[in-house]
A and B are shown apart, each in its own frame.
Chain A
Amino acid sequence: MSGLFESLTSASNALNAHRLGLDVTGQNMANINTVGYSRRVLQLAEQPPADLLSAGRGVEVLGVRALRDEFLNARLRGEQGSGAFNDAVVESLATIEASVGPAGAALDQRMTEFFDAFAALADDVTSLPARDGVVEQGRLLSQAFGDLSARLALTRRDANLSIRGAVDEVNRLSQEVAALNQQIMANGPEAEALRDQRGVALARLSELAGATVMQRPDGAVDVTIGQGRALVVATNAYAIDAQPTGPSGDLLLTLGGITITSEMASGRIGGLVHGRDVVVPAHQGRLDQLAFDIATQVNAVHTAGFDLNGAAGVNFFAVPGSVAGAAGTMAMNAAVAADSRLVAGSATGAIGDNGNARDLAALREAGVMTGGATAAEAWAEFVYHVGSDVAGARSASTSHTQIINQLLQLRDQASGVSLDEEAAHLMRYQRAYEASARYFTSIVETIDTVLEMVR
């Protein structure tokens, strides 16, 4: 009899194991759309026989395990950081590119019309409408440089706003990871679910700040950013501080009192900082140089001539103080703007002489900008740099997106939930449960038979 009761226990264990299998399958199917969920598998083992004359004691549940590939997850986090970096650079550049406008209808059109006005003045140097045209085009050119410079400045301001938002999210996520570390270390029954949640938070941290994750033996993880600056150490989270600095108001990032702004070489924050501190200033510098060169060259020729009153020419543009900021501050000389008779079209002082107007118009094709370029060539170079930077960053972003998608697919091969597979499991556990139940019934019937024998 004792053997039959052991068989009943064995059947009962099998029923429990296969019911658990059904539960695990149900859990997997329920979480097929849960972000970060790693599929669970039921781990079963045979209960070995007690002696050579017994068949065994059925099945034993070893546990429910989540299938994760930590190597893939680490690679994925790395790529997500690099991808987010490029996406942020593209974001900064896209604004600049939109501001540049199409060829022949952007700042180059303003420059063409500016020099056209001097050419029209040369055709009729005493004409007051032609002089007014020169003043108006000078004003419009200054305004165009100012507008573009303001848009570049706006791009930096937007980058700071985005950095602020990203830093806030990083600080919230690092606290979340520290809290999850604590719960995982406590090794509660929900450990696998907590690890999934932490995985989602870590992926987002990598996207935002290019975080590096190190697994600890106690189940917790340490997170560093920049050049190994600790963001999370087990159950402790350290906040990034973002404070505006300097006249630009650019945010300076510090972690534990150490400035980490320039260390952010990955993640969205890294991309935003790179766009703000490297990409935008490079383009701003080229624009400032062009504005400075145009103002300086026009002034040099203009002051060599004579105005309609026969007086020596004054500066046409307000003299730029330095190359830096020249585009933003470009403006007409207020005196010339107020009185177009002060436009110095004459080279000799004779009212009808148009030599200086011709010289000013000829600046259009003169290689007097920095590097011996014409004004149009300098603008074309600016446009080329913007275009190639955008195309390069976009290409890198696309490439990273493809790599990330491939890694996600690889990760899904290990961790993702397949409905077909779960349906097969469902069928298998259901059949196994039915078989175990039938075995249980058979044992009960056998016990009944034995009991009948003693009646």
Chain B
Amino acid sequence: MRVLFDVLRDGLAAINAAREQMEAARNQVATGRRVVAPSDDPLAMQQAVGEYATMGAIDAYRRSADSAASRLAATDTVLAGFVDKLTAAVVAATSGRGSNKTAAERSAAAAEVRSLRDALVGDINTTFRGTALFAGTRVDQQAYVASGGGYTYQGDSAAVQVEVDRGRLVSVSYDGQAIAQGGDPVDVFTAMETLAAAIEAGDDDAIGVGIAALDRTFDRVSRLQGRLGADERGVDAATARLSAMRLAADGRRSKLEDANMAEAITRMNEADIAYRAALSAVSSAERVSLLDYLK
């Protein structure tokens, strides 16, 4: 049989094939990725797109969880201050109670109560990154403003909620009226003004009514602190779960996309040997022919 070797066709085809394999292996080693273009492994690429989308969603939830955690921490601090001030107001009111108190002592106690009331108004109007924490969804409004000798709630009863994980919503704004007034006929700030007046007047019964109003407010704030604590723990749990999920998704992505470096390096070395062999084989082809032996 006549067997012909065409250097241009057969030789270059062999060299090109070996070179292509070497470049592919070298690319994998250099980039660390097995799948770069869709045609490298269409199914793996399709699944990798899904994993990237999953990681994107997880990252968004984590950012929301971080943001919610910051707001919850700020709210927690405000509520702690609230409790301290309510406690201080009860102490001040109690110190102004009794028939043995002088007018000056009662006046000082009343002034203390009013001062604490003003501080509480400041607390309930706290804003975090420009949005009110205790005005419900009317985050651009102050929760309470003084008007006509009393206080008016400008927020609403709804809450701003943030999704910190799939289907898990956490409130990051609160109904200030539910805290300051609850089921009482007047809000705690008005009650404190009445209390201060009762202390000045030496009206122990009215002082008792005022202290009871402070106690109820204390209870409402404590209940909210409990809920807030649960939410904070929930956010922490969600963050931990999201981190684990992201790690898992990234692992799946890596299995789909990334090159097995040991295998890739071995393949690159094999391809390099094959390339050199092809070069050598082609260069030696037709180096000798019958013409060399004709005299």
Q: How far is the CB of B110 from chain A (nearest CB, A)?
A: 36
Known: A123-B64, A126-B139. A383 touches B38 (CB 8 A): yes
For B13, B35, B52, the residue with the greatest tally of chain A CB atoms inside 10 Å of its CB is: B52
Residue in A closest to B131 when the chains form the complex, CB atoms: A126
Q: Which chain B residues numbered 101 to 144 have a C-beta less than 8 Å away from chain A?
A: 129-132, 135-140
Q: Are the C-beta atoms of A424 and B290 separated by less than 8 Å? A: yes
Q: How far is the CB of A152 from chain B (nearest CB, A)?
A: 15
Is A273 positioned at the interface, with any CB of B under 8 Å from its CB? no
Q: Are the C-beta atoms of A412 and B6 separated by less than 8 Å? A: yes
Q: How far is the CB of B209 from chain A (nearest CB, A)?
A: 35
Q: Which chain A residues numbered 348 to 404 have a C-beta less than 8 Å away from chain B?
A: 348, 350-355, 358, 361-362, 364-365, 374, 376-377, 379-381, 383-388, 390-391, 394, 401
Residue in B closest to A364 when the chains form the complex, CB atoms: B57
Residues of A within 8 A of B46 (CB): 380-381, 383-384, 387
Q: How far is the CB of B40 from chain A (nearest CB, A)?
A: 8
Q: Are the C-beta atoms of B50 and A116 separated by less than 8 Å? A: no
Interchain Cβ contacts within 8 Å, total number: 186
Q: How far is the CB of B58 from chain A (nearest CB, A)?
A: 11
Q: Which chain B residues numbered 31 to 49 have a C-beta less than 8 Å away from chain A?
A: 35-43, 45-49
Is A91 positioned at the interface, with any CB of B under 8 Å from its CB? no
Residues of A within 8 A of B291 (CB): 419, 423
Give the residue of B50, B52, B158, B253 whose beta carbon is less than 8 angstroms from that of A353: B158
Known: A120-B63, A352-B173, A364-B56. A384 touches B45 (CB 8 A): yes
Is B219 positioned at the interface, with any CB of A under 8 Å from its CB? no
Total count of chain B residues near the partner, CB < 8 A: 60
Q: Are the C-beta atoms of A123 and B67 separated by less than 8 Å? A: yes
Q: Are the C-beta atoms of B4 and A409 separated by less than 8 Å? A: yes
Q: Interface range on chain A: under 10, 10 to 19, 20 to 34, or 35 or more? A: 35 or more
Q: Are the C-beta atoms of B137 and A348 separated by less than 8 Å? A: yes
A-B contact pairs, 30 of them (CB 8 A): A97-B38, A104-B52, A111-B53, A112-B53, A115-B56, A119-B60, A119-B63, A124-B67, A126-B130, A127-B129, A346-B137, A348-B137, A350-B138, A352-B132, A352-B140, A353-B137, A354-B160, A380-B45, A383-B45, A384-B46, A387-B39, A388-B39, A408-B9, A409-B10, A412-B2, A412-B4, A413-B1, A419-B291, A421-B2, A426-B294
Among all A-B residue pairs, the 7 with the closest Cβ atoms: A387-B38, A387-B42, A352-B139, A376-B53, A112-B56, A104-B52, A390-B39
Q: Footprint of B on A, CB under 8 Å?
A: 97-98, 100, 102-104, 108-109, 111-112, 115-116, 119-120, 122-127, 346, 348, 350-355, 358, 361-362, 364-365, 374, 376-377, 379-381, 383-388, 390-391, 394, 401, 405, 408-409, 412-414, 416-421, 423-424, 426-427
